[in-house]
Amino acid sequence: MRLASSGTSSKQDYLGNGLIFLNVILLAIWAIKDTIALRNIVLVLGAIISIIYIIHDWRFGKLKKQLHSINVLPIICVITIFAWVLIHFFCFSQDPANQFQELKSTWLRALLGSILAWGTGLAILRKPLLINYLWLGILAGILAVYAQYIPKALAAKAFFVPDYHGYLFDGKINGVLVGTVLIAGLTGTVLDLFRRQQLSKHLWALLFWFVGIVLVMYSYVFIYDTRNGFGLAAILFAALIMGTLVWVVKRILTQGATKELKIVILFILAAAIVASLFAYQQMQRNRGWVTLIEDAKIAVQIDKYPHWQKSNDGGAYPKTDAGREVVGNNYERVAWAVVGVRLIGQHPMGIGILYKPFNRLLQIDYPGATPYATHSGWIDLGLSFGIPALLLMWMVLASVFYFGLQSNGPFKLTVPMMAGMIFLLYLVGELNGKHAVEILFYWFAMLTALQLPQKQELPEAIHD
């Protein structure tokens, strides 16, 4: 029996290592333009290996026991979303031809990515440190952009060299997408290592976190000049600093000052200094932060100020009572979001397609309107597949957030942090590429696997 068990474990290790390797490739290239062929190969091969791994874990591992728990709820929600997409096609479609095309392409890749991610999550649960290879894959893609940026910066003799369509990540949002996932994942991983009292044994993880944070923040300010990415990072840093300060105060009151606390305080100071430096640089380059609230007050009045209907055409924007023209992206994005929410109320089942649902629905009440998206992923998904899809997606994130915090597993903090940041990311980030939907479902599946209960958390009745 021991030899059989050893052979089974060895087979799982080989399969798991293969999955990790494919994930590194996929996460490095997923948001990079013109990589669809390689992505398809990795997704198909990865899904096949993942299915084998899942079956193996069901037969010889603890997966069968893990699925006999309430933690199966988010998995059921993900499966139900895919079922709803099919139901929508047969019952509510307004454009069957295009919707069928998306079923064969985007939704098929989303399904393959989900299968790959779920099997990979099970493999990572066996060896939690393997999660760092996911962050390494994302970082590799970011470093590829730096390989383009550095020659541009040297030629321009400047640090600030934005080029929204010239880099490997097309537009701002792809840099924001991978950057937000990376800093949330790295931060959660470090906190979980510290929580399990393993950080001192893996100090490289702290260095990995610092390098990843600096590279992402620098890219937000000097390469992409992106406010939504920087705002998301600021929220994460603020939560990290405040939460850690509360923990430090509690520890001082209960245990007094220790060497461990000094290290944590230095960590907080370093995080605060890095955040402050990049915040200053961002504020210097983007005046929209200063006028955001005032501009938003005008933007929500979509009927009084209809300028939002003609986007990116060089036209004038509305003015404040003081005569100042509002900042364009402040005004447009808030106005589009308000209109998008109104349209969801008018079309609660959605139009059924991922490609420009906002623009198509706009033509009904605003013929000739040019905006193609609301710049909010959740609103666009609501316009695509309606309120049922939105509720199911939010239920996935809410349930993994809750179960993650309730668990005592290796990713008690990583899973909730990732869930929270993904919600915020798709709240202010656009779905300018269908791969953003594929990546979303990849992380849905990954988080549903990482929050599964460990052996010590399973009910005694189903223990060996």
Task: Provide φ and ψ at 48, rounded to 5°.
Answer: -65, -50
| 85-90 contact pairs (CB < 8 A, 24+) | 85/385, 85/389, 88/349, 88/350, 88/352, 88/385, 88/386, 88/389, 89/352
> Which pLDDT does position 4 carry in this prediction?
45
pLDDT at 62: 87
Q: Is the pTM higher than 0.85?
A: yes
Residue-by-residue DSSP string for 91-129: HT-S-HHHHHHHHHTHHHHHHHHHHHHHHHHHHHHHSGG
Q: Residue 456: its pLDDT value, please? A: 60
The predicted structure's pLDDT at residue 444? 98
- What one-character DSSP code corresponds to residue 62? S
Phi, psi of 368 (to 5 degrees): 90, -5
- Each residue's pLDDT, cut to its tens digit, for the chain (464 residues) gives 343 455 667 878 889 999 999 999 999 999 888 899 999 999 999 999 999 999 999 998 889 988 988 999 999 999 999 999 999 999 999 999 999 999 999 999 999 999 999 999 999 999 999 999 999 999 999 999 999 999 999 999 999 998 878 888 877 888 899 999 999 999 999 999 988 888 888 889 989 999 999 999 999 989 988 888 889 998 998 898 888 888 888 887 777 666 667 777 777 787 788 888 888 888 777 777 888 889 999 999 999 998 899 875 666 889 888 888 898 888 999 999 999 999 999 999 999 999 889 999 999 989 989 998 999 999 999 999 999 999 999 999 999 999 999 998 999 999 999 999 999 999 998 876 678 999 999 999 999 999 999 866 655 433 33
Q: How far is CA 384 from CA 95, 334, 367, in A?
A: 11, 19, 19
Separation between Cα atoms, residue 458 and residue 456, nearest integer Å = 6
Phi-psi region of 158 (alpha: psi -120 to 50; beta: other; left: phi over 0): beta
Could you state, in order of their start, the residue ranges of all structural domains in the chain?
A: 2-292+372-462
CB atoms within 10 A of CB 364: 11
Count the neighbouring beta carbons within 10 Å of the beta carbon of residue 434.
Answer: 16
Inter-residue contact 347 to 386 (CB < 8 Å): yes
pLDDT at 7: 61
- The pLDDT of residue 259 is 66
Residues 6+ apart with CB under 8 A from 79: none
The span from the CA of 340 to the CA of 420, in Å, is 22
Which one, of 157, 317, 283, 146, lies nearest residue 219 by Cα? 146
Helix (H, G, I), strand (E, B) or coil at 258: coil
Amino acid 454: pLDDT: 81
Predicted pLDDT at 423: 97
Rg of the chain on CA atoms, in Å: 23
pLDDT the model gives residue 357: 93
Torsion angle in degrees (nearest 10) through CA of 176, 115, 449, 134? -40
State residue 432's pLDDT score: 65
The torsion of the CA quartet 182, 185, 189, 195, rounded to 10 degrees, works out to: 130
Element containing residue 171 per DSSP (H, E): helix 171-195
- Rounded to whole angstroms, the Cα distance separating 119 from 128 reads 14
**Helices marked H in 291-376 — which ranges?**
292-299, 328-346, 357-365
**The pLDDT value given to residue 271:** 79
Burial 88-114 (b: 16+ CB within 10 A, else e): bbeebbbeeebbeebbeebbebbbbbb
Pair 216, 182: CB distance under 8 Å = yes
For tokens 């139901």, name the residue: 87
Residue 325: phi and psi, rounded to 5, are -75, 135
pLDDT value of position 9: 73
C-alpha to C-alpha distances, 383 to 164, 372, 376, 380, nearest whole angstrom = 26, 12, 11, 5
